[in-house]
Structure 1
Amino acid sequence: MKNLACGCPGSNVRTIEKPATDNPATGKVASELRQWPTQLHLVPPSAPWLQNAHLLIAADCAPFAYGDFHRDFIKGKVLVNACPKLDDTSPYLDKLTEILKHNDIQSLTVTIMEVPCCRGLAMMAKQALEASGKDIAFKVAIIGVDGERRS
């Protein structure tokens, strides 16, 4: 793959050197996903599962990078995902604002990667929360490209 001319750190090709894991398999890990669709482009603000939900907005790469994503983030939450770099994000701010305005969202968690382009998703979620006029618990979790949780 050729590096992009823009020099974006998120596009840099790299190998992550790690020892092979020797975690014992203790059985099948169950999915914590409880609704469909998940892509923000496809989720209608009126989806019934948004009502009274703890909302998780995940950058597309985060679940692949962080091994315990289902257990640590999706469990007990409704998931929507998006990519602030590759998606057409122009409708996202309005859609997120509508979701927050018209549903009794209990909390808002955003998981992003540590690369700069991902921060736009967290900023968009914060702007939507402010535009909704609601006082909802808000937190951002940052995942490193090495799969480690940074915050």
Structure 2
Amino acid sequence: MVKRLIIRIDEEKCNGCGLCIPGCAEGALQIIDGKARLVREALCDGLGACLGDCPQGALYLEEAEVEAFDPELVTAFQGEQEAEESGAAYGDAGSGADGFGGGCPGLRSLSIDRPAGEQKETRSTQGDPGEGASAKSELGNWPVQLSLISPTAPYLKGAHLLLCADCVPFAYADFHKALLRDRVVAAACPKLDDAGQHVERLAAVIRANDLAGITVARMEVPCCGGLLRIVEVAMAMAGVTLPVHDVVISIKGELKTPQIREMGA
């Protein structure tokens, strides 16, 4: 047992709508007897990515003595969920009620169809990586992984930090021009990385540098919401409030937020 943040549900406020379920990438929440329930404490990472998905305000974080977060257990449960979903898709009546249901939407395999003209344009630049390349890199710092960036790196002083989910540059074609330009980038994955280490590293960066602001660039999949929570906790740990812009990219590579949304002061 460890003392840490854990999700709690106010049953009086919960109406069983289920909107919080896909918001939990780990699959820790289920609708049971008409109410959202925490399946097991060890499945909850305590980052609160699901908080904004509840229209009733029934979800909240509480610091308590609970089971430690267990990523291996999460992986095992997600494997069980995927197996059950595959069985259901093929008419497998053996998907029992003992499963944990509702696998991570971010793991769903999708084939992204694009207009024929767009496909043709993309293929025209294939072959030698140097052929047809006209766009210039806007990368201004190295390393780019948050876990490798030194909080005392000189390029951080007064910089606008781009905290970017690992998948964003692959999905968003205008990444360099629209997001990376004039920003210092720090890349991270809220699902696969150690969130606690990221919080500590980001807090050190915020504390040691007079940052102009932070832009969070994340994918639309629920697990990416943890990136926002990392920023919130890091600012609280550092005792510094910064303007935070939230930019969401769809899995089709489109900007989902029509305009940048201010989160901080």
TM-score by length of 2: 0.53
Cα distance 1:27–1:39, how it changes in 2: closer, same or farther (>3 A)? closer
Name the Cα RMSD after superposition: 1.9
CA distance in 1, matches of 2:182, 2:173: 17
Q: Which runs of no fewer than 5 residues in structure 2 stay unpaired?
A: 1-77, 82-102, 126-131, 258-265
Q: CA deviation at 1:65?
A: 0.4
CA distance in 2, matches of 1:145, 1:4: 22
Question: What is the aligned residue count?
Answer: 149
SS at match of 1:109: strand
Match of 1:119 in 2: 225
Q: CA deviation at 1:76?
A: 0.3
TM-score by length of 1: 0.91
SS at match of 1:145: coil
Task: With a CA cutoff of 8 Å and minimum separation of 6, indicate the structure with the bigger relative contact order.
Answer: 1
Match of 1:149 in 2: 255
Q: CA deviation at 1:142?
A: 0.4
Q: Which runs of no fewer than 5 residues in structure 1 stay unpaired?
A: none
**1:65 matched to 2:171:** yes
Q: CA deviation at 1:123?
A: 1.2
CA distance in 2, matches of 1:12, 1:138: 29
- Give the 5 Å matches for 1:20-99: 20=116, 21=118, 22=121, 28-99=134-205
> What code does the residue aligned with 2:199 have?
L
> What code does the residue aligned with 1:107 have?
G
CA distance in 2, matches of 1:28, 1:4: 43
Determine what percentage of the aligned residue pairs are the same residue: 40
Q: CA deviation at 1:41?
A: 1.1
Match of 1:17 in 2: 113
> What code does the residue aligned with 2:156 have?
L
SS at match of 1:91: helix
CA distance in 1, matches of 2:195, 2:232: 15
Q: CA deviation at 1:136?
A: 1.8
Q: CA deviation at 1:50?
A: 0.6
Q: CA deviation at 1:132?
A: 2.1
| Candidates 130, 138, 150, aligned match of 2:236 | 130
In the alignment, is the contact (CA less than 8 A) between 2:195 and 2:230 conserved in 1? no
SS at match of 2:146: coil
Q: CA deviation at 1:27?
A: 5.9
Q: CA deviation at 1:8?
A: 0.6
